[in-house]
Copies of this chain bind each other. A is one copy, B any other.
Amino acid sequence: MNLEEVKFDERGLVPVVVQDAESGQVLTLAYANREALERTLETGYSHFYSRSRQALWKKGETSGHVQEVLEVRLDCDGDAVLYRVRPRGPACHTGEVTCFHRALSDQAPHPPLGEVLERVYRQILERFAQQPEGSYVARLHREGLDRILKKVGEEAGEVIIAAKNADAEELAWEAADLVFHLLLVLAEAGLAPEDLARVLWARHKP
């Protein structure tokens, strides 16, 4: 824990970018003073300094929506910090997952792949739990693991056929299908997209 390299501004603060460690989603921009950084590193939970209340605060202290901090990073100039967190609930006081829930630009491209996978995965878990009528995921879940595994075999076959057809758009479509059903298998086994990241990183980290 080397806070010597952190350059606090004239108010004794440094901006903190809070990022979901699993989905990669940017959740909040907040501020920390030295004490908030120390508490964060010591306790493993997000602490900040509130400029309006002029006080140290622990995220989730009243709401329960704490953030477990997996890693704290510092930028090249030492004047900005990144918390990579595992959030227990929404980051925003409005109840939204992220504070950055308003678009300033007209374009609305798809989110990054990690976030898409995480959202699709959470949707799968919801369908498992709530069993809404007409849900494909709920039906596969009811029909059981063998049925889902057959789909994995089938979708792998469709990826192979699309690739042999040299049809990139068909391939993108079938590859997405395969990944979707793979997420279903992971969900059935109590695994998460994070487990893929863990295994792939262990093998491929630079």
A53 at the interface (CB under 8 A from B): no
Within 8 A of B (CB), among A88-121: 92-94, 96, 99-120
Is there contact, CB below 8 Å, between B159 and A152? Answer: yes
Could you tell me the distance in whole angstroms from the C-beta of A143 to the nearest C-beta in chain B? 14
Is there contact, CB below 8 Å, between A110 and B202? Answer: yes
A129 at the interface (CB under 8 A from B): no
Question: A113: which of B37, B152, B196 is its contact (CB, 8 Å)?
Answer: B196
This protein's copies in its complex: 2
- Chain A, interface size category, equals 35 or more
Question: A75: which of B37, B99, B179 is its contact (CB, 8 Å)?
Answer: B99
Is there contact, CB below 8 Å, between A24 and B21? Answer: no
Could you tell me the distance in whole angstroms from the C-beta of A156 to the nearest C-beta in chain B? 3
Residues of chain B contacted by A193 (CB below 8 angstroms): 113
CA–CA, A201 and B115, complex, Å: 10
10 tightest Cβ-Cβ pairs between the two chains A and B: A114-B114, A24-B24, A156-B156, A110-B201, A29-B80, A24-B112, A176-B199, A113-B197, A72-B105, A75-B99
